[in-house]
Amino acid sequence: MGFIRKFNIKQEAEDLGVSVWQAPSFLFFLMGLFIILVMVVIYFISQFYDSPEVLVISESVVVVVIFSIGNSIIKSMEQIARVNKMKSEFVTIASHQLKTPLSQMNWELELLLSKNQSGLSEKQLEIANTIRQSQETMARLVNDLLDVARIDQGRLVLNKEKVDLLEIIDAVINNNKILAKSSNVEISVIKPKKLPEIIGDKKRIAVVVDNLISNAVKYIEEKGFVEIKVEEGDGKINVYVKDNGVGIPDNQQNSVFQKFFRSNNAVRYQTEGTGLGLYISKNIVEQLGGKMWFKSIEGIGSSFWFYLPINNDVNR
């Protein structure tokens, strides 16, 4: 059944934005079917004709048709590649253009709230804070889009520096305390007193940890918990984030780490979100030599794991 779901030509065509007859899987299937048919025909021809000319002509026809179908596959893939490149370039350009006005908006808001706050009425302060929250949301979206474009183009550059993972986790938990309290969620952490430093990108690793913890908090319907566990073993540091939230439906779990994925139950409960966080997080972890995976039961909760390798050179 899993193979049949993966060989869904109609779904593939929709995902790639092409017609069914242009889908690579359909063309490969057509080629295979044609080869089998022609082999059968040639077999029967060889039974009735001893002339080598007939066989040569038959095989030549087969080669021409195979090349024609192969050319269609190549053109289809080239078209998809060109569209994907144009999309990535557009996202990069648009995101860069948006960063400038967003930065200016942030500076003006900071100036307004720091220098002139005493001259604003309560309603004006509320409006200014709403604008700032919207600006922060937009800035995160722009940064996520830029990261996705860099990942797709193979240009996501990570710093190589000494990183204290416990320090990052403590900072992220502290940043999510207000969100957790407002959501009636208790965050607990089990960790050793000390861990070896690793080589990685401190800022990007913080993004990974924040995505897992903030997602866990956001998708808990009522009073709940988020449990974080950190441990060292087998030359790597393992991080585990468990929650009792809405969970992910079984039929959607294969898409969790895809771009723009948000499960149906998550969308019903939490309208905000881009579906880019886990895609970016997984790519960051893998680029640092680690791995990320999960288990989830709808209505029970989700558990996400990732590990990062320990570089022994750090401790010398």
Q: What is the DSSP string of 150-215?
A: HHHTT------EEE-HHHHHHHHHHHTHHHHHHTTEEEEEE--S----EEE-HHHHHHHHHHHHHH
Assess whether 70 and 117 both reside in one domain: yes
pLDDT of 314 > 50? The answer is: no
Neighbouring-strand partners of residue 9: none
pLDDT digits (tens, 9 = 90+) for 160-195: 899 999 999 999 999 999 889 988 999 999 999 888
Percent of the chain exceeding pLDDT 90 equals 29
Assess whether 234 and 269 both reside in one domain: yes
Query: Residue 87 — very low, low, confident or very high, per pLDDT cuts 50/70/90?
Result: low
Report how many domains make up the chain.
2
Domain end (from 102, 127, 156): 156
Assess whether 308 and 169 both reside in one domain: yes
Assess whether 14 and 142 both reside in one domain: yes
pTM passes above 0.95: no
Assess whether 98 and 148 both reside in one domain: yes
Assess whether 75 and 193 both reside in one domain: no
pLDDT digits (tens, 9 = 90+) for 136-148: 778 888 888 888 8
Average pLDDT over residues 66-74: 73
pLDDT of 53 > 60? The answer is: yes
Residue 261 belongs to domain with CATH number: 3.30.565.10
Assess whether 30 and 127 both reside in one domain: yes
Assess whether 7 and 152 both reside in one domain: yes
Domain end (from 110, 134, 156): 156
Assess whether 294 and 189 both reside in one domain: yes
Residue 96 confidence (pLDDT): 67
Residue 84 confidence (pLDDT): 67
Average pLDDT over residues 43-67: 71
Q: How far is residue 104's CA from residue 117's CA, in Å, rounded to a whole number?
A: 18
Q: Where are the alpha helices (DSSP H) in the chain?
A: 2-6, 9-16, 24-48, 52-115, 122-152, 165-175, 177-182, 202-218, 264-269, 277-287
| Owning domain of residue 119 | 1-156
pLDDT digits (tens, 9 = 90+) for 123-132: 888 888 788 8
Q: How far is residue 157's CA from residue 146's CA, in Å, rounded to a whole number?
A: 12
Average pLDDT over residues 227-236: 92
Assess whether 73 and 178 both reside in one domain: no
Does 274 or 92 have the greater pLDDT score?
274
Assess whether 170 and 92 both reside in one domain: no
Domain end (from 133, 156, 179): 156
Residue 297 confidence (pLDDT): 92
**How does the average pLDDT of the chain come out, rounded?**
81
Assess whether 261 and 182 both reside in one domain: yes
